[in-house]
Amino acid sequence: MSRPKLIGGRGITMEEAIDIRVTVFGSASAPPRGEWTRTGLSYIHSQNDPYPFGLRSPKNATRGLQSVVQAFLIKYFIFDNRPKEKSVPLDKLLKPTESEQVAAMWNSLSEILWNVGDKTKVNVCLPGDSPHISHSQSYFQDNITEKLSIFEFNKLEDLQIFIKRYVFFFTDDPSPGALLLLYSAVWTRGFENIRNDLDCPKGAHLMGNYEEGSLNIVTLLLSGRATPYLHNGVVYVGDEDHYAMPQFGILCRSRVGLLIWDGEGINVTSRQPGSRLKTPGLPIWVTCCMGHYGIVFNSNRELLRNYHAEKRFELHHYTNAGIFVTMTVDNRGQDDEEVGQPQLQRQNSKGEIKESDGSNLQATPLEKLIHTKWADGKITFHHQIEPAKLNL
């Protein structure tokens, strides 16, 4: 099947090429990290793969970005594309056809960028065949940035049509699909706005030195701002020797949330998301557990709206490493002597439930992550799970 040729747009300038490379990677005179130029947003296309909704995500710095895309894909499969007339089992909703996979991708990418653009204006960056600028002392060519053409959209429908037409730029494997989404989000937000969002000393950039990607990239795609602050609204911070300066956190509730567990330490509380991330519009959360990204979700849209629905419910945890875990969270209350001791249960290979009050079973990071949202929930895992996998 022939692919449409990229038509229109305007070529990137030398000043813009340097600016976007510096904003994202910190330098334009050295090549970017190689994984960003060869990691596409592609599904696991194995006939026997049990998770056809999942992205093929190598363990590199693109995984945080890919986890946000994965969360929006899951949102599309279980909420946006669900027939309203009848109930459909979750396992069927998460078995998309190839055409449903493609539709989920262009819808999700469009929604992410439209939100970053404050539902007003979006810039999409796609590479043509020839470079618009040449190699120089101040700009090191990467075979992507110098070939970019910029396309501007002011209507969601026009953006969706464009992304649908050229979705292969994002999904080919290998391809710079992850980088093109990040570039488009950064261009849409604006270079100066990104630097202001980071609220860091001069020279700060989006990438940072993180194995699976910076949290600033995640907050940019979830909230439209690349903020390191996860609290609600604006907090003024200062002391008797300095003026109180504003720290801009999450200004509005996202459709997809964020849960974090960094481990025990003095900065754990400051890194905890506020309610606008912990209680999103839909029961889907990007998770960052000890530096590893994943997604937690539930298929009942009433979970966060109805107190009774939150008493006992199932959660599903998926990572782009291909690990899928199902658990039940029970918030119906414990006996008096158990208050303050979250209950942990695991099911062994014989289907037998093993329960502990926490005294002889150390909670894994995944369990502690769930408890950042449901502090006193009793957790029951429904699959035999290797301890190493629970730590992801």
Q: Which are the contacts of 328, defined by CB distance < 8 A and separation ≥ 6?
A: 312, 313, 314, 315, 379, 380, 382
Asked if 249 and 223 touch (Cβ cutoff 8 Å), the reply is no
Residues 221 and 263 in one domain: no
Asked, for residue 95, whether it belongs to a domain, the answer is yes
For 320, the domain range is 253-392
What is the model's pLDDT at position 236?
83
User: Which bin fits 224, alpha (ψ -120 to 50), beta or left (φ > 0)?
Assistant: left
CA dihedral 182, 188, 190, 195 (to 10 degrees): -40
Domain count, the chain: 2
What is the model's pLDDT at position 81?
86
Asked if 30 and 257 touch (Cβ cutoff 8 Å), the reply is no
Ranges of the chain with pLDDT below 50 = 266, 335-344, 347-361, 384-392
Asked if 350 and 323 touch (Cβ cutoff 8 Å), the reply is no
Of 176, 192, 227, the position where a domain reaches its end is 227
What is the model's pLDDT at position 348?
46
Residues 191 and 44 in one domain: yes
Residues 209 and 120 in one domain: yes
Residues 42 and 174 in one domain: yes
Asked, for residue 242, whether it belongs to a domain, the answer is no
Residues 152 and 51 in one domain: yes
Asked, for residue 34, whether it belongs to a domain, the answer is yes
Residues 47 and 113 in one domain: yes
Least Cα distance to 387 among 313, 323, 312 occurs for 323
Asked, for residue 244, whether it belongs to a domain, the answer is no
Separation CA 328–CA 312 (nearest Å): 7
Residues 55 and 102 in one domain: yes
Least Cα distance to 146 among 33, 20, 27, 61 occurs for 20
Residues 143 and 277 in one domain: no
